[in-house]
Amino acid sequence: MILVTGGAGFIGANFVLDWLRNCDEPVVNLDALTYAGNLENLASLKGDARHIFVHGDICDRELIDRLLAEHQPRAIVHFAAESHVDRSIHGPGDFIRTNVNGTFTLLEAARGHWMGLDAEAKAAFRFHHVSTDEVYGSLGPNDPAFSETKTYEPNSPYSASKAASDHLVRAWHHTYGLPVTTSNCSNNYGPYHFPEKLIPLMIANALAGKPLPVYGDGQQIRDWLYVTDHCSAIRAILQAGKPGEVYNVGGWNEKPNIEIVHTLCALLDELKPDAAGSYSRLITYVTDRPGHDRRYAIDARKIERELGWRPAETFETGIRKTVEWYLANQDWVAHVQSGAYRDWLDKNYAGRS
């Protein structure tokens, strides 16, 4: 049995689905079902006894203690986080509460649980913390990619809150001996991605005939990782990762945002042509967001060298699968685009023209 936090969100849900495709070990899935958590992501597991869903908050220590005592998980995989930079700019308090206080609560509960295990179970237990490359700050065009020893230089409330959580995880290992691992991943994309992020937002807006808002000059560079490749990396870390170690997980796909948008337009032109012309006609440059990091890039050689992991998808194969999934799952997109979501888009993009 493993305990997954945030397992109804984008990456967490993909991880749960991937985990149960690859093994029969049950999952206890704890999610608060905030705006980005969606049980529709897990609809294919309805009636599957291997999946136990619990609606709850990682800041609820009593609940965490009860779940650990009841299910005795051999590992905790911690995805639960507020994760959108733009939202962190408008409302940083939620990010401190969930990403910092929530991680602290989870670590303390895990420490108490781990201390009570027998020697064999104690040695086998793992706490895996899922983090981001954004904690490292921004790179210049010729700077080397982020390695695991890169100094932390977070530039947004979101990345600062994740950096704080990373430091807590490290400290609980060095101070208390809790067997932790951390992964810092690059930008994920794929099925079930909430449509506030670049790729799903562009797909949804294009299909609706709405403007495709590109921040600034669109030359912000990110490394892109297909979500199931991220899932396989975490499985590799759980299986063979060394306690106390950090593993950077990347797709070896550095792309500027504007290139991503043009690629999406070309795929949509091919797969669902619009009588009004190419979707690229909808590209609209808008005012950049405050403190927008220029470039992220992941050096993923350590995880390949030590654990034998490399991404299976190229950007070309992954992005095609992603567009095909969104075209085939328009009902899912419509359901997540609630009034609250529309209000958020109006708030974030108002005045950016």
- Per-residue tens of pLDDT for the chain, all 353 residues: 999 999 999 999 999 999 999 999 999 999 998 877 889 999 999 999 999 999 999 999 999 999 999 999 999 999 999 876 777 788 899 999 999 999 999 999 999 999 999 999 999 999 999 999 999 999 999 999 999 999 999 999 999 999 999 999 999 999 999 999 999 999 999 999 988 789 999 999 999 999 999 999 999 999 999 999 999 999 999 999 999 999 999 999 999 999 999 999 999 999 999 999 999 999 999 998 787 889 999 999 999 999 999 999 999 999 999 999 999 999 898 888 765 544 544 654 455 44
Structure tokens at 223: 């490394």
Dihedral angle, C-alpha 292, 128, 109, 125, nearest 10 °: -170
Residue 273 covered by a domain? no
Residue 26 covered by a domain? yes
Residue 35 covered by a domain? yes
Do 58 and 105 contact (CB within 8 A), yes or no?
A: yes
Q: How many helices (H) and strands (E) does the chain have?
A: 14, 12
Helix axes 198-208 and 315-328, enclosed angle (nearest 10): 50
Helix axes 227-240 and 10-22, enclosed angle (nearest 10): 60
Residues 107 and 174: their CA atoms lie apart, in Å, by 13
Residues 99 and 160: their CA atoms lie apart, in Å, by 10
Dihedral angle, C-alpha 311, 253, 249, 337, nearest 10 °: -100
Residue 330 covered by a domain? no
- Please name the helix (run of DSSP H) or strand (run of DSSP E) that holds residue 105, with its range, or none: helix 103-115
- Please name the helix (run of DSSP H) or strand (run of DSSP E) that holds residue 131, with its range, or none: strand 126-132
Residues 263 and 58: their CA atoms lie apart, in Å, by 38
Side-chain half-sphere exposure of 284, counting CA atoms within 13 A: 14
Residue 132's CATH number: 3.40.50.720
Residue 344 has a pLDDT of 42
Residue 222 has a pLDDT of 94
Residue 200 covered by a domain? no
Tokens 């749960």, residue located: 16
| Residues with a known catalytic role | 133-134, 158
- Alpha-carbon distance values, 263 to 81, 141, 317, 318, 333 (Å): 29, 22, 12, 12, 20
Tell me the residue type at 266: A
Which candidate, 334, 304, 292, 318, places its Cα nearest to that of 134? Answer: 292
Residue 115 covered by a domain? yes
Q: In this structure, what DSSP letter does residue 146 have?
A: B
Structure tokens at 270: 């091919």
- Say how many domains are in the chain: 1
Q: How far is CA 318 from the centre of its chain?
A: 16
pTM of the model: 0.92
Residue 349 has a pLDDT of 42
Residue 345 has a pLDDT of 42
Residue 289 has a pLDDT of 76
Residue 122 covered by a domain? yes
Residue 292 has a pLDDT of 84
Strands 180-185 and 246-249: parallel
Residue 286 covered by a domain? no
Domain of 234, in residue numbers: 2-189+226-252+292-312
- Please name the helix (run of DSSP H) or strand (run of DSSP E) that holds residue 236, with its range, or none: helix 227-240
Structure tokens at 217: 């000059």
DSSP structure string for 283-348: EEEEPPPTT---B--B--HHHHHHH----S--HHHHHHHHHHHHHHTHHHHHHH--HHHHHHHHHH
Residue 16 has a pLDDT of 98
